[in-house]
Amino acid sequence: MTRQIVRTTAGKVLRSDDLNAGEKEVAAAFLQANPHFGNPHVVRCDWCHETRTLFRDENEGPFKLTSHGWLCETCNVRASSQEVKF
Ligand SMILES: [Zn+2]
């Protein structure tokens, strides 16, 4: 079980995609067992429409984590982020 699986599940939850049986419960249990991870956030740039699902300590291009959330480095604008709770 890795954070990647939680990211994938979070993306599905946000898009209301079909989930596998128990998938959401597995992700929720993983986060409960690792509370320091926090919940994943769906980060989106309104300008270039790039989207990533990231934990609070993660940077992934084009997004750079700042003290006020994520910045889209391509556009140099603050990205919107939505916390995903299971
Ligand atoms: Zn952008």
Alpha carbons 9 and 80: distance in angstroms, whole number: 19
User: Is the predicted pLDDT of residue 67 greater than 70, yes or no?
Assistant: yes
Ligand 1 centre to CA of 79 (Å) is 7
Ligand 1 centre to CA of 75 (Å) is 4
pLDDT band per the 50, 70, 90 thresholds, residue 86? confident
Ligand 1 centre to CA of 78 (Å) is 8
Mean pLDDT to the nearest integer, 22-33: 94
User: What pLDDT sits at residue 79?
Assistant: 97
The DSSP bridge partners found for residue 69 are 66
| DSSP collapsed to 3 states, 36-86 | HHCCCEEEECCCCCCEEEECCCCCECCEEEECCEEEECCCCEECEEEECCC
User: Is the predicted pLDDT of residue 1 greater than 80, yes or no?
Assistant: no
Ligand 1 centre to CA of 52 (Å) is 11
Domain ranges of the chain: 3-83
Ligand 1 centre to CA of 22 (Å) is 34
Mean pLDDT to the nearest integer, 37-59: 95
